[in-house]
Structure 1
Amino acid sequence: MLDGCSDRLTVIWRLDIVFRGIPDVRRMIKRSCGYQGIQYSKDNRTNFWKYFKTTWIKEIVPAWSNTNRLGEDIVNQTNNPLERYNRTLNDAFSVAHPEVTHFISVIEAHSREYVRLINDISNRRTTAPAHAPAQPAPAFDSDSDFEVDSDSDLVVSDPGSEA
């Protein structure tokens, strides 16, 4: 598969993923297979897109990973505490593998700062750090004029069944 091909699905309107994003990515994959001399298997791709829709559209809501219409200051941060702490530690070290003594001193300084912050919050000397504000869902234009190619692996015979 083309590098970054599926990344396109994280930057388009989340409600356009199924009707516009997936067909676009499917065409890119088909084209890439043709350039590389790889046989494009419609059956395998149909199974993949069924899995993709079940897992990444229905179970894991696209709004959780889609960055379209978000401010750049929000996109460049993370709400995952471990990832955020990893970034904080990376900023504290000048080399990839610091000496153990330096590593311990940085961890100790961070621990003391977090304990102080928690105590200050519980004693009402300060407030908890602000998180990014909630982002409204983007507006959605109707896809009623959108047509799926008859040879598409996205065609569904029964509108109520999964594609």
Structure 2
Amino acid sequence: MHFIEKWFKMDYYNLKYQVFYDLSALTMIPVSEIKEKGIRYCQFIVVESGSKGKWDGFWRFFRKMRMEQYDTSLWNVNAMMESSVDIVNRTDNPLEKYNRDFSDKFTSHYPHLLTFVEVAKAEAIRYVSFLEDIKRDQQRPPQHTGVINAVLPESHLQFE
């Protein structure tokens, strides 16, 4: 792969991650502030230049879907933060960690079929044994991550 292509892909990934991180502030902003101050805050911290039309469409979609069609308590944790409820980090895809761990068992992205079957068979045997050990109290189920201390970004608190 050409250097420029590698740089662009890496930069695109970082940009995508940064936008996701910036927009995740909306999950902690008080619900009463999301429509006005929260969206303006995200528009301020996310670089929208060059794609104004697409961003306008995104914000219309966001207001319609996330603010009107779905109850904000499904995705906003501010009420939990204010009530001092422990927030535990969970993925919305329960197989995400398993898939990541399983793919790490291969030395290439596209293993031979026989290699894939051998690894999958060994993993199935290991997992069945693990479940049996849990039933016999010889092992404990995996623990979830600890409690997260969710805090509003300082820049949002100072944003007018």
CA separation of 1:6 and 1:107: change in aligned 2, threshold 3 A: closer
Q: Deviations over 1:121-155 (max 9, x none)?
A: 111112112111233554799x99975xxxxxxxx
Give the Cα–Cα distance (whole angstroms) in 1 for the partners of residues 47 and 151 of structure 2: 30
Is 1:15 equivalent to 2:29 in the alignment?
Answer: yes
> Which has more radius of gyration?
1
TM-score normalised according to structure 2 size: 0.57
Answer whether contact 1:92 1:106 (CA < 8 A) is retained.
yes
**Structure 2 residue 38 is the aligned partner of structure 1 residue 25:** no
Give the Cα separation in 1 of the matches to 2:147 and 2:120: 31
Partner of 1:83: 96
Aligned to 1:97: 110
Note the alpha carbon deviations across 1:71-116, whole angstroms, 9 max, x for none: xxx97x8473321121012210111110111101111111111111
Residues 55 and 87 of structure 1: is their aligned pair in 2 closer, same or farther, counting only changes over 3 Å? farther
For residues 23 and 55 of structure 2, the distance between their equivalents in structure 1, rounded to whole angstroms, comes to 22
CA distance in 1, matches of 2:74, 2:152: 20
Q: Distance in 1 between matches of 2:51 and 2:133?
A: 63
Q: Judging changes above 3 Å, is the alpha-carbon distance between structure 1 residues 24 and 120 closer, same or farther for their aligned structure 2 residues?
A: same
Runs of 4+ in 1 over 6 A off after TM superposition: 39-42, 143-146
Q: Distance in 2 between matches of 1:97 and 1:144?
A: 47
Give the fraction of aligned pairs with identical amino acids, expressed as a percent: 22
Deviation of 1:9 after TM superposition, in Å, equals: 1.9
Q: More helix per residue: 1 or 2?
A: 2
Q: 1:24 to 1:119 in 2, by over 3 A?
A: same
Does the Cα contact within 8 Å between 1:12 and 1:21 map onto a contact in 2?
yes
Structure 2: gaps (5+ residues): 1-14, 78-87
SS in 1 for 2:143: coil
Counterpart of 1:53 in structure 2 is 67
Give the number of equivalent residue pairs: 130
Contact 2:105–2:119 (Cα < 8 Å) also in 1 = yes
**CA shift digits 1:29-56 (9 cap, x unpaired):** 7952xxx3966997x6773342242357
**Which sections of structure 1, spanning at least 5 residues, go unmatched?**
64-73, 148-163
* Alignment equivalent of 2:132, drawn from 113, 119, 127: 119
Compared CA separation, residues 79 and 107, structure 1 to 2 (3 A) = farther
